[in-house]
Amino acid sequence: MDALTRERTLIGSDDTTGLDLEPAQRPTKDEAMAAVRTLLAWAGDNPEREGLIDTPKRVVEAFDEWFAGYHGDPAKELSRTFEDVQGYDDMVMLRGIDVQSHCEHHMAPFLGKAWVAYMPTGKVVGLSKLARLVEIFAKRLQTQETMTMQIADSIEDHLSAAGVAVLIDAEHQCMSTRGVHHHDVSTITTQFRGVFKTDKVLQQRFMDLVKK
């Protein structure tokens, strides 16, 4: 089994941009809840006390929602495009997309906003699909840097865009609630592809729109 097949086996998607994964057998729900009980006991509490009896079930259900991106398919989301755009050939941009993700190092949340733009080449995609693309990659374990790259890669590859620009601004709770305990520190990551990388005026237009 080659590397790409191994990746697809794990996440159930044809889009594996930025992933380098070995196959994993997904535990049953009961096994996952047992693991949560073990962590509760390791933390020093009693998993059998009244307030914690249903916590394993709630945690597993929360994980289903927080990490639903492993079951999403970016290629499918970007597959339906519209060519009747009356010759439109300028920037398409979504501003302030909510980002709710978890870092792969501590599984701590990081929360912020994403700005995504692309230069179409004869076809555009539904605006909600771009927001959904961000959500798919956000609802996985990774670094902010990797997620930024994955979003840009998907748009560039599946829309044959002349250029792509992505900026994510997020606060990481692995910094604010543990370790250095620095609050109100945001991390900004960017990716510029195609004309957004070569045309500094266009790149500045994007950044000006982000600032607004």
Please work out, in degrees rounded to the nearest 5, the angle formed at the alpha carbon of residue 135 by the alpha carbons of 205 and 180: 85
Active site residue 144: yes
Catalytic residue among 104, 182, 183, 204: 104
Cα separation values, 151 from 116, 122, 131, 144, 169, Å: 9, 20, 10, 11, 14
Burial of 193 (0-12, 13-18, 19+ CB in 10 A): buried
Active site residue 83: no
Active site residue 174: yes
Active site residue 71: no
Catalytic residue among 100, 145, 171, 174: 174
Say what the alpha-carbon torsion angle 131, 60, 13, 92 is, to the nearest 10 degrees. 10
Residue with tokens 């957004």: 196
Catalytic residue among 7, 102, 103, 158: 103
Catalytic residue among 102, 156, 172, 191: 172
Active site residue 25: no
Tokens representing 68? 């639903």
Tokens representing 99? 């980002």
Active site residue 102: no
Active site residue 7: no
Catalytic residue among 71, 105, 182, 183: 105
Catalytic residue among 77, 102, 144, 156: 144
Query: Which residues are catalytic, by number?
Result: 103-106, 144, 172, 174
